[in-house]
Amino acid sequence: MVGLRLSLKQRYSVLLCFAVGAIIVHFSRAYLRLAGRLGLWVILRPGPYICGEWDLGGLPSWLLRDPDMKLRTTYPSFTDAVDSFFNQVIKRVVPLQYSEGGPIIAVQVENEYGSYAKDGEYMPFIKEALLSRGVTELLLTSDNKEGLQRGGVKGALETINFQRLNPNDIKYLDGIQPQKPKMVMEFWSGWFDLWGELHHVFPAEDMVAVVTEILRLDMSINLYMFHGGTNFGFMSGAFAVGMPAAKLMVTSYDYDAPLSEAGDYTTKYRLLRDVFSRYHAQPLPDPPSHRETTAYQPVVIQQHLSLWDSLHFTDKPLKSERPVNMENLPVNNNNGQSYGYTLYETPITSEGTLNSKNNVRDRALVFVGKHFVGVLDFDTQELAVPDGKGKRTLSLLVENCGRVNYGNTLDEQRKGLVGDIEFNKRPLRDFIIRSLEMKPAFVDSLCRSGHWASMRQQPTFPAFFQGKLHVSGSPKDTFIKLPGWSKGVVFVNGKNLGRYWSIGPQQTLYVPGPWLHRGDNQVVVFEEQETDGRIQFSGGGEYGMTVDVQ
C-alpha cells in the first residue's frame, strides 16, 4: 500500500491514500509525475501498512493463510512479503525523488507503529528496507501522542497526529527531538462513521481555529483528510479498539472533509482557503469550476434472480469435513478469498439449537431448506432451528463486513467460519463451501444469463435485482438511495459501489459520473432480505443524523 501526501510549496498539504498492487504500480508513478507537473511536493507513505480505515489496514488478506502469522513484526513470512512488495514498488519510485529531479521530498517509515509496537526490531527493518533500495530523502514517522513513545526509529523525524491541539503534546514532541522541525502529519479534519451509529462532524470553526494555531506555532501540517472519498467495493474496514467486537465502517469516507465525497467545496474548504491565503504573497488562483451532480429519475426493477439460482456461476465448491475460513479456501490461485460472502452448507435431520461459538466472522444469514431462520453475528450466537421432515440443508451465508484496520487485533482478522459451529451441542461436519466474491466477471455472467425472472413473480431472498438507468445527456455524478431495501451491495455497469444498510447512518451511495454512459446503464443490487422494487437518486450525499467528534 502507498499513501501520498501531496504538499503545497508552503507549509500545508493534501493527503491522499490509495492501494498499490501489481496492477496499479504504473498508476502510482503516473500520479507522482502528475503531482510534479502541478508543482506539488510529495511525502510518500509506502507502508506496507497504511491504516486509512481500509480492510486490514491495506495489508493483503492472503497473509492470514499462515496460522502463525504475526503482522507488522519481523516474523519471517511477513518480512518476506514486505521484501517482495518493496522490491516492486520502491524501484519504481526511487527515480522520482527530489534528488533525481522528481517531486518526492520525504518518505514515511510505516505508519503509526507506536500504537502497535509488538516488535522492537520491526521499524529498523522497514527503515533499512527503504534505504537499501535507494531511498535518500528525509525519513519520517507518524504517531499520535501515546504512540510517540514507542513508534520512532533512529534517523527518522518524528511527527504527530491529532485533532484537538494540546500544548503539552507539542512540548513533548519538542522534548524528544529538540531543535528539529515540528510537523502535524495527520491533522484530522473530521472522522469516519460506523454502521448503526451517527455521522461524525467536526465544526468548521473549531477546525480552522486549530489549523490557525498550528501555523502560528510555525509547525508544518498535513490535512487528513482534505478529500475523504469513498470505500468502493468491499474495502471499508472495522473498528475494534477497546471493544469486545468489531464495529463496522460505512462505505462512504466523506469524513466531513474540506472537499465532500463527490469533490464539492464546503464551508471548511472556503475557510481554509482564507487562512492559507495569508501565507501567499500573491492571491491564490481561482479554484476549478464546480462539478455538477444530478438526481436521476427512479429506476424500476425489472428482473430478479435468487442467490440459489446464481450458484452455478461461482467457482467449483469445496467439500470439507470441517469449516474452512475465507482466507484458506482454495480459490484465486490458492491465495484464498479476500472479500464478499462465503456460503457454507451442511445436512441436518432434526430441529434444535444452533450455536456459533462466536466463530462467525462477521455476519451470517441462516437458512434451512432455503428458508430464512435468522442472523448470527457478534451479538447473536444462538438460533432455534425449526422441525422439518427428513434430511434438510442448513445454509450459512457469511459476510466479511470489514477487517479491523487499526490496533492490536490485526492477526485475528480471518473471516467466514473460523471454527466449529455447534448444532445441539455437537460440531457440524461435512460442508460444501462456495466463494461469493461478486467480482465483475461474476456480475457480468449473471447479467448475461437467461435465468432472470420477472418482478411479477415473488422474489426469493437473498436475490439479485436488475434495472436500467437511462442517461440522455452527458453523465453526471449522482447518489443512489434505497429507502425500501434492507442490506446489500450495488453494482453499476459492473462496478461495485459498496455496501448499503438500512441501519444507517449513511443513506446514499456515491456514483461517479465517469462510471456512467449515455443511454442505458445497468444497475444490479444484491439484497439480503427485502425490496420495494425501486432505486432512487439524489443530487447530494446524505449521511444521517450528526454528532460532534469527541
Question: Cα–Cα distances in Å, from 44 out to 15, 132, 162, 421?
Answer: 10, 16, 20, 45
**Active site includes 112?**
yes
Nearest to 378 by CA among 360, 366, 354, 400: 360
Q: Which helix (H) or strand (E) holds 335?
A: none
Q: How far apart are CA 295 and CA 479, in angstroms?
A: 7
Q: How far apart are CA 198 and CA 367, in angstroms?
A: 31
C-alpha cell at 493: 455497469
Q: How many helices (H) and strands (E) does the chain have?
A: 8, 34
Q: How far apart are CA 258 and CA 188, in angstroms?
A: 11
Q: How far apart are CA 108 and CA 49, in angstroms?
A: 11
Nearest to 354 by CA among 416, 420, 294, 423: 423
3-state DSSP of 372-401? EEEEECCCCCEEEECCCCCCEEEEEEEECC
Contacts of 323 (CB under 8 A, 6+ apart): 344, 359, 416, 417, 418, 419, 420, 421, 428, 431, 433
Say which of 53, 110, 112, 528 is annotated catalytic: 112
Q: How far apart are CA 173 and CA 188, in angstroms?
A: 18
Q: Which helix (H) or strand (E) holds 28?
A: helix 25-37
- The total of other beta-carbon atoms located within 10 Å of residue 459's CB is 19
Grid look-up 451465508 returns 397
**Active site includes 527?**
no
- Give the residue ranges of DSSP H helices in 144-203: 167-176
* Class of residue 148 by CB neighbours under 10 A (exposed 0-12, middle 13-18, buried 19+): buried
C-alpha cell at 189: 479534519
Q: How far apart are CA 173 and CA 217, in angstroms?
A: 13
Say which of 186, 261, 327, 399 is annotated catalytic: 186
Q: How far apart are CA 499 and CA 510, in angstroms?
A: 11
Catalytically active residues, by annotation:
112, 186
